[in-house]
């Protein structure tokens, strides 16, 4: 337990101090403004450059192509049947009604709901989390909410802390800002924002678990390319050093290195040199199991779509100001920005393993028809 506490404290400390050290070591001053709570309300600098947009698009396409081809190759392969199909639970129907009601409240301006409309984000996402768990239960006979409740509940405070770290990163890159935040004491704002942020990890990991019930997505990646060297100490040290270097420099050159805030924490967690054993995600890659890479990335992307959709016409919402690639928006998000959700999904999985000791969807379940993410 003490070893895990040291690891967690060290990783959080690195994430907080490295951007500060980089900026302060360059010009002897701290980024302005550093606020608490760190919720930016002023826009950064958005710009668009065709050749940079094309370069990013090419890199993303090349990276994703092998995965898309792999799924396409499996389109005609036999898919194992799933013998158990419990009926959709009553609480799932209640969650669906809750989400639809929250959606209406978020996108309308009823005078009788004026005090609640700035706070529809957690209303929608608590409903979403329950709904996706109901779908998972219907497809597999088990879900995080019902059959791994203790770990599921731990994800909420963990999620709040983690997302505050990303809000802190945003003070260096100024990639998003909030509009129509109500005036309130900092302590109350911290509490209400933390309630909203607490839904992020449960939503992503519940969606990841739901995706494990689709053999069409799991079968192609259960036995794929082995990466045996990824668990070697030198490889983990390289991941760690690359993550640290990225966070150290992101505040110095935010126009060019802003994507690092979505990748560097993952590299630091996976490569942290004082962990006793290789992270399960790296071990899975060494065995040729790419499910812990593909499914969390897909889960975060699905959540990202709904985050941006419900945000688009909500009263209190966020806008983006992305340098060099701020174009072709879907809702308020530039289309290339959605690629940031892919590594973020892996971060959610890595954080869950670091804190709880297990990756999402790797628990022992009473269901006999539910696949294991790390088989």
pLDDT at 108 over 60: yes
Q: Please tell me the predicted confidence (pLDDT) of residue 301.
A: 98
**Alpha carbon 30 to chain centroid, angstroms:** 28
Q: Please tell me the predicted confidence (pLDDT) of residue 364.
A: 36
Q: What does DSSP assign to residue 180?
A: S
CA–CA separation, 227 vs 287, rounded Å?
A: 7
Mean pLDDT of the 209-216 span: 94
CA–CA separation, 134 vs 128, rounded Å?
A: 10
Angle in degrees, CA 369, 370, 375, rounded to 5: 120
pTM over 0.75: yes
Q: Please tell me the predicted confidence (pLDDT) of residue 73.
A: 86
pLDDT at 18 over 70: yes
The H or E element that residue 147 is part of is: helix 144-147
CA–CA separation, 339 vs 301, rounded Å?
A: 8
pLDDT at 357 over 70: yes
* Long-range Cβ pairs for the range 61-69 (8 Å, 24+): 67/221, 67/290, 67/294
Going by C-beta distance under 8 Å and a sequence separation of 6 or more, which residues neighbour residue 60?
336, 339
User: Among candidates 303, 288, 310, which has minimal Cα distance to 349?
Assistant: 303
Mean pLDDT of the 174-195 span: 92
CA–CA separation, 28 vs 12, rounded Å?
A: 23
| Tokens standing for residue 203 | 């939503």
Q: Please tell me the predicted confidence (pLDDT) of residue 370.
A: 45
Q: Please tell me the predicted confidence (pLDDT) of residue 311.
A: 97
Q: What does DSSP assign to residue 363?
A: S
CA–CA separation, 43 vs 95, rounded Å?
A: 35
pLDDT at 92 over 90: yes
Rounded percentage of the chain residues whose pLDDT exceeds 90: 74
Mean pLDDT of the 280-302 span: 96
**Alpha carbon 238 to chain centroid, angstroms:** 23
Q: Please tell me the predicted confidence (pLDDT) of residue 96.
A: 98
Q: Please tell me the predicted confidence (pLDDT) of residue 80.
A: 58
Q: Are strands 329-330 and 333-334 parallel, antiparallel or unpaired?
A: antiparallel
Compute the chain's Rg from CA coordinates.
21
pLDDT at 367 over 90: no
What are the tens digits of pLDDT across the range 228-253? Answer: 999 999 999 999 999 999 999 998 99
Mean pLDDT of the 111-117 span: 87
Q: Please tell me the predicted confidence (pLDDT) of residue 7.
A: 84
Q: Please tell me the predicted confidence (pLDDT) of residue 48.
A: 96
pLDDT at 299 over 60: yes
Contact 133, 144 (CB under 8 A): yes
pLDDT at 223 over 50: yes
User: Among candidates 281, 349, 294, which has minimal Cα distance to 66?
Assistant: 294
Computed over every residue of the chain, the mean pLDDT equals: 90
pLDDT band, very low/low/confident/very high, at 374 (cuts 50, 70, 90): very low
Contact 168, 160 (CB under 8 A): no
Going by C-beta distance under 8 Å and a sequence separation of 6 or more, which residues neighbour residue 359?
280, 281, 292, 349, 352, 353, 373, 374
pLDDT at 76 over 70: no
Q: What does DSSP assign to residue 333?
A: E
pLDDT band, very low/low/confident/very high, at 79 (cuts 50, 70, 90): low
Contact 192, 182 (CB under 8 A): no
CA–CA separation, 65 vs 47, rounded Å?
A: 27
Mean pLDDT of the 352-364 span: 67
What are the tens digits of pLDDT across the range 137-177? Answer: 999 999 999 999 999 999 999 999 999 999 999 999 999 99
- Kindly list the domain boundaries of the chain, sorted by start residue: 2-75+83-356
């Amino acid at each position: 337990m003490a070893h895990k506490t040291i690891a967690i404290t060290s990783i959080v400390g690195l994430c907080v101090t490295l951007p500060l050290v980089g900026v302060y070591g360059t010009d002897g001053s701290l980024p302005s403004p550093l606020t608490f709570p760190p919720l930016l309300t002023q826009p950064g600098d958005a710009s668009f450059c065709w050749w940079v947009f094309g370069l990013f698009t090419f890199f993303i396409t090349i990276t994703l192509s092998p995965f898309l081809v792999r799924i396409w190759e499996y389109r005609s392969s036999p898919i194992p049947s799933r013998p158990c199909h419990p009926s959709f639970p009553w609480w799932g129907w209640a969650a669906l009604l809750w989400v639809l009601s929250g959606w209406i409240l978020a996108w309308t301006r009823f005078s009788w709901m004026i005090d609640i409309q700035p706070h529809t984000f957690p209303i929608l996402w608590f409903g979403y989390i329950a709904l996706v768990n109901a779908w998972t239960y219907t497809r597999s006979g088990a879900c995080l909410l019902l059959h791994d409740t203790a770990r599921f509940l731990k994800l909420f405070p963990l999620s709040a802390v983690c997302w505050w770290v990303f809000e802190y990163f945003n003070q260096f890159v100024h990639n998003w800002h909030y509009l129509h935040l109500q005036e309130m004491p900092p302590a109350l704002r911290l509490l209400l924002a933390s309630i909203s942020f607490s839904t992020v990890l449960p939503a992503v990991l519940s969606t990841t678990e739901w995706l494990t019930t689709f053999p069409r997505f799991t079968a192609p990646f259960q036995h794929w390319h082995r990466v045996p060297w990824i668990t070697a100490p030198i490889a983990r040290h390289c991941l760690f050093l690359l993550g640290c270097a990225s966070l150290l420099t992101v505040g110095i050159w935010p126009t060019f290195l802003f994507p690092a805030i979505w990748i560097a924490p993952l590299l630091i967690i996976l490569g942290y040199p004082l962990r006793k054993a290789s992270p399960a995600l790296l071990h899975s890659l060494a065995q040729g199991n790419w499910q812990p890479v593909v499914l969390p990335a897909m889960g975060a992307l699905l959540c990202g779509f709904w985050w941006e959709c419900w945000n688009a016409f909500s009263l209190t919402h966020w806008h983006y100001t992305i340098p060099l690639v701020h174009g072709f928006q879907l809702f308020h998000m530039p289309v290339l920005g959605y690629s940031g959700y892919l590594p973020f999904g892996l971060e959610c999985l890595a954080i869950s393993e670091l804190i709880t000791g297990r990756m999402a969807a790797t628990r022992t379940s009473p269901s006999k028809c539910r696949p294991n993410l790390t088989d």
